[in-house]
A and B are shown apart, each in its own frame.
Chain A
Amino acid sequence: MAINTEKNSYTVIFAIIMVIVVGSVLAFLASGLSTKIKENERFEKQQNILYAMGVNENTPDSGVNFIPTTVVEDQFKDQVKEQYVWVNGELKTDDQAYLIDLKKELKVLKEGGEARLPIFMGERDGQEVYVLPMYGKGLWDAIWGFMAVDKDMVVQGVYFDHKGETAGRGAIIKLRFFMDDFTGESLLEGGSYNGIAVSKTNNDPLNNDKEDNEVDAIAGATITGNGVSAMIKETLKAYRPFLETIRNN
């Protein structure tokens, strides 16, 4: 039996069937894979936090090497001594703190509400470090990361990531040579929390000068670089009350 595919009723029925079929295939797929995807995302967050803390498999000349996902959960329990949330000027322990969505909390904070800001305490070379999550805007989309600071407000390690920065340009913020430059830089300038700026004019491509609160920018990624500077500033603004409590005077 030949079907008349030009009839309006046929078109409508075809469209309905197609939408139902495609919709159910996608829904089935999404629900079937969601546990696995959520697990991957959780592992990634743990890897990122540990990376900033210096727990990674980097060798002197390698790129960014996280610890394997098979051991990340145990390592995270082991290395992160305590997970806190900073609420209303008070530090509370919360062992699910790493699952907090910082983007939402920063929004709450902006609106003057009661934000829950996660903090992770660990150790590096025998001294306590605090890992703070960061969230900001790049050129095309979100950028985020983690920053480990010690009690002198000196950065002990960072990790940056991005959703959609340009490959070969803004996307470089997640490469090791860029992130490594932040280590050793101070968040304090004079007495104030100025953060670390990604600078096109610091004339210090090897980043030998750790006193200038600046790291060398990436060619062709001005806006992403500015986004990183702004993100660090925003994080400091949000976490300043907490940092004051741990800072060595």
Chain B
Amino acid sequence: MAILSKKDANLILDPLADNNPITIQVLGICSALAITAELKASLVMAVSVIFVMGVGNVVISLLRNVIPSKIRIIAQLIVVATLVIVVDQVLKAFAYELSKTLSVFVGLIITNCIIMGRFEAFALGNGVWRSFLDGIGNALGYGVILVIIGFFRELLGSGTLFGIPVLGDPIAKTGLYSIGYENNGFMIIPPAALIVVGIIIWVQRSRNRALIEEA
């Protein structure tokens, strides 16, 4: 990559695969379980977190030398909460429909441990540009997993993608349903997300054995 040095590019690429916040660090699991019953909700959540993480990491990195270490967690929380409220208010004024979809997740974004984790582990000790890349990278890694889970849960649980039926009509018995296929109601409930995450972790570690922790 010409624009980014190899080291910088890794900040974005690492969290997408070998250092994924959900599958490797097992952070941010709560929102991954709660909101992935639908692909659209997963995507909205992913985009919001990318914004909050990118900007948040930059702000924390700018302030890293002036934040007193005693109250750094509170300062970080204030930054996240402020950003989330700003996003919420701006959306309410200029993209009202989208803001209604997002409203449920606002609280979840503030409590997302990936965000606090990256502030604490990276932005407090690194420069602005690198922090920005790290934020975007981790949020993307989180978003990718969310979208994968949302895809399978909506497809298998409701037979739709983005709300559009793709497997036929379950009531009129058309498409796949005509040969006896049924939607799996289990996929809509949160435990199913845990199983999907588990399968992703399994696939990822069996492809790259270096990721398996020593027992």
Interface membership of B92, Cβ < 8 A: yes
List which B45-60 residues lie within 8 A (CB) of chain A: none
A167's contact among B41, B66, B74, B89, by CB below 8 Å, is which?
A: B41
Contact (Cβ within 8 A) B85 A168: no
List which B147-171 residues lie within 8 A (CB) of chain A: 153-154, 157-158, 163, 171
Whole-angstrom distance from the CB of B157 to the nearest CB of chain A?
7
Contact (Cβ within 8 A) B94 A168: no
Interface SS majority for chain B? helix
Q: How large is the interface on A (under 10, 10 to 19, 20 to 34, 35 or more residues)?
A: 20 to 34
B171's contact among A15, A164, A206, by CB below 8 Å, is which?
A: A206
Contact (Cβ within 8 A) B37 A166: yes
Interface membership of A241, Cβ < 8 A: no
Interface membership of B104, Cβ < 8 A: yes
B68's contact among A5, A19, A36, A37, by CB below 8 Å, is which?
A: A5
Q: State A113–B90 Cα separation when bound (angstroms).
A: 38
Contact (Cβ within 8 A) B89 A220: no
B189's contact among A14, A63, A206, A220, by CB below 8 Å, is which?
A: A220
Interface membership of B185, Cβ < 8 A: yes
Q: Which residues of B contact A10 (CB under 8 A)?
A: 68
B92's contact among A3, A14, A40, A167, by CB below 8 Å, is which?
A: A40
Chain A 148-191, CB-CB to B under 8 Å as 1, else 0, gives: 00000000000000011011110000010000000000000000
Contact (Cβ within 8 A) A11 B68: yes
Q: Given A26-B85, A168-B41, is A5 in contact with B66 using a C-beta cutoff of 8 Å? A: yes
Residues of A within 8 A of B (CB): 3, 5-6, 10-11, 14-15, 18-19, 22, 25-26, 29-30, 33, 36-37, 40, 44, 63, 163-164, 166-169, 175, 205-206, 219-220
In the complex, 10 of the A-B residue pairs with CB atoms within 8 angstroms, ordered by the A residue number, are: A5-B67, A11-B71, A22-B78, A26-B86, A29-B90, A44-B96, A167-B37, A167-B38, A168-B41, A206-B171
With contacts A18-B78, A33-B93, A36-B93 known, what are 10 further pairs, Cβ within 8 A? A6-B68, A14-B68, A19-B78, A26-B86, A33-B92, A163-B104, A164-B104, A168-B153, A168-B188, A169-B37
